[in-house]
Amino acid sequence: MSNETIDLKTRLVTDFYARESVMNGEASSAFHQKKRAALAEFDKLGFPTTRNEEWKYSNVKDLTSVLYNFNADSSITSADLEDLKIPSQEANILYFINGHYNAALSVFVSASSQIIIDSLQEAYKKDPVLINTYFNELVKDENDAFTALNTAFAQDGVFIHIPDNQTVEHPVILRFISDARVQNVGSQPRNIIAVGRNAHVKLAEAYRTLGNERSFTNTVTEIFVSEDAGVEYYKVQNESENAYHIGTTKVKMLDRSQFYSGTVTLNGRFTRNNLNIILDGERCEAHMYGLYFPDGVQHVDNHTVADHRKPNSESNELYKGILRDRSKGVFNGKIFVRPDAQKTNAFQSCKNIVLSTDATMNTKPQLEIFADDVKCSHGTTTGQIDEEALFYMRSRGISQSEAMALLMFAFCADVISQIRIDSVREYLEGVIAEKLASK
């Protein structure tokens, strides 16, 4: 790098206008105007500091102190992917390398009458009006610099549409791979998932890294769940020690729909997951499960929102964490019950095991209830491994390390068993067992 220092924010803003200047007519489209507004918002907000309440325990200074190549080419081959030991399953599998859709590696098994899958770019070319009805509709008011940044640069990612009354048998697995073998790379995938009435689908986003240079992933997924629809959505993060990940998933649910999520963070230098669910219908059911297992100096932050806007719906949340070494964990769970949302049931629980005196966990449940006939509960626990249980196991001949592994595996099992895509669950069980055995 030269002596001339240019910060990440300035570089991004400059890049945006440079790209815009070569866009010709497209720059005046409604789609681009959304991006333009988002860039202005990002420029105004700047990257958050720890003075921002939403980022109090998660400092992004380290992440924003270097530059990333957001247009890095990758010579990745299927042989390179072998190293990542990704399980195979009969599924629709889409690969994104450094944020760009890779058609050659991707496979589709479901019929196009059941599910429409396109890269966002492709989908926009086919039907700009349709894409524009969804794009940014859920996250436009997030007031979050990273979300605005993603909107401004949204180019690749996926558009998935499940027509009314279709049940997609095979899962859709989105694999985002950062190829950081030769340089610092950045990617900003943008996904739109629109699930029609009484349609059902299982999805997973999986994040991996190749190489040891830095990677910065800033991802946004907007999920529209129509009446009577059912969506299972899993996010699996097993990235490198130099991987920085900021992700926002925003979901809007309509009457009688079900949304079921699992967020599992196994490795990565810095991870921030925002999962915001709007229950904008009656008799909806939202389930949120999460597991994080940081070690070394890893940092994992999960912010969730269950926003109850209509009566008679239910949200249920369980997040669990095991923290080792000098790792840090953050959990912030908001539950809003709006005045109209009578008869809401909302439950939240966050349980942590802190295995080292140098590891820290910050938990903050935040309930704002404006209706009077509701059932809400929340609880957080942070503790050590149960010594009595450990001794009990050892007195039966089980070594201390094996006993610890069994107890921790059992601790994780509550969450892992909720993952209903078999190959994803089995993969996670394997990685967790490996990680437990590593110390």
Interaction site with other proteins (CB under 8 A):
386, 388-389, 391-400, 402-403, 406-407, 409-411, 413-414
Q: Which is nearer to other proteins, 207 or 411 (CB)?
A: 411
Quickly list DSSP for 79-135: HHHHTTT----SSEEEEEETTEEEEEEEE--S-TTT-EEEEHHHHHHH-HHHHHHHT
Quickly list DSSP for 271-328: EEEEEEEEE-STT-EEEEEEEE---TT-EEEEEEEEEE-STT-EEEEEEEEEE-TT-E
Smallest gap from residue 331 Cβ to other proteins (A): 20
Smallest gap from residue 394 Cβ to other proteins (A): 4
The residues with which 236 forms a beta bridge, in sequence order, are 206, 264
Half-sphere exposure of 179 (CA within 13 A, CB side): 18
Smallest gap from residue 392 Cβ to other proteins (A): 4
Q: Which is nearer to other proteins, 369 or 393 (CB)?
A: 393
Q: Which is nearer to other proteins, 180 or 408 (CB)?
A: 408
Provide, for the chain, the percentages of residues in helix, strand and coil under a 3-state DSSP scheme, each rounded to the nearest 5. 25, 40, 35
d(CA 432, CA 426): 10
Smallest gap from residue 280 Cβ to other proteins (A): 35
Instruction: Give the residue from 199, 166, 200 showing the smallest Cα distance to 420.
Output: 200
Q: Which is nearer to other proteins, 369 or 389 (CB)?
A: 389
Half-sphere exposure of 436 (CA within 13 A, CB side): 21
Smallest gap from residue 421 Cβ to other proteins (A): 21
Q: Which is nearer to other proteins, 17 or 392 (CB)?
A: 392
Q: Which is nearer to other proteins, 168 or 415 (CB)?
A: 415
- Sign of the Cα torsion 126, 95, 136, 134 reads positive
Smallest gap from residue 385 Cβ to other proteins (A): 11
Smallest gap from residue 364 Cβ to other proteins (A): 25
Q: Which is nearer to other proteins, 25 or 397 (CB)?
A: 397
Q: Residue-wise over 213-231: b if at least 16 C-beta within 10 A, else e? A: bbbbbbbbbbbbbbbbbbb
